[in-house]
Amino acid sequence: MEPPFAFTATYDPDSAHAAARTLFIQTWRPLLPFYALSPVVGVGGMVFFGAFGLSDLVWVMAGLLLLTVLSSGYLYWSMTRRIAAALAGTAQFNLTDTDLGVSRQDRGSSVLPWKVFKFARRDARNVLLFVSNRVAIVIPLSALSEAALNFVSAHVPMKR
């Protein structure tokens, strides 16, 4: 029996980078308040230690502040690069009433029941079906018809 929706999707570089950004934000969103507070604490520590004439500790605080900013930038760059590289190529999708089948020539195939997916998130170029808060199956919107998108939305709740 033919599945209701069977299609082949090609991950173009723009689609892969958009998915990588969405996955990065989803992964690191809980820690965003800590990253937002680190410059405030760093500058506050520099002012505090500077007021007491402890210039060595001011330089330590400045170094920690710089390290936080640089490591955050590197983390974003490396994670998005790795995810975009992993999404290169094409995939075959089969959507049925009970499950989602994904097949890639270089990575094998798998069939996942719809109840495995916790939520879906849509970005500018993709629909991401999240199995957990950090793991998702990416389907490019260019490969989805409007009917297939509605079919996916009916099986997995969309999250903003």
pLDDT, residue 34, reads 82
Domain holding 128, by residue range, is: 5-13+88-155
Rg of the chain over all Cα atoms, to the nearest angstrom: 21
Residue pLDDT, tens place only, 1-19: 567 889 999 999 899 899 9
Instruction: Indicate whether 37 and 71 sit together in one domain.
Output: yes
Number of domains in the chain: 2
- Collect all residues with Cβ–Cβ distance below 8 Å to 102 and sequence separation of at least 6: 91, 92, 93, 94, 109, 110, 111, 112, 137
pLDDT, residue 2, reads 64
pLDDT, residue 60, reads 86
Evaluate whether 139 touches 129 at the Cβ level (below 8 Å): yes
Record the pTM: 0.82
pLDDT, residue 65, reads 85
Q: Evaluate whether residue 29 is within a structural domain.
A: yes
Instruction: Indicate whether 65 and 109 sit together in one domain.
Output: no
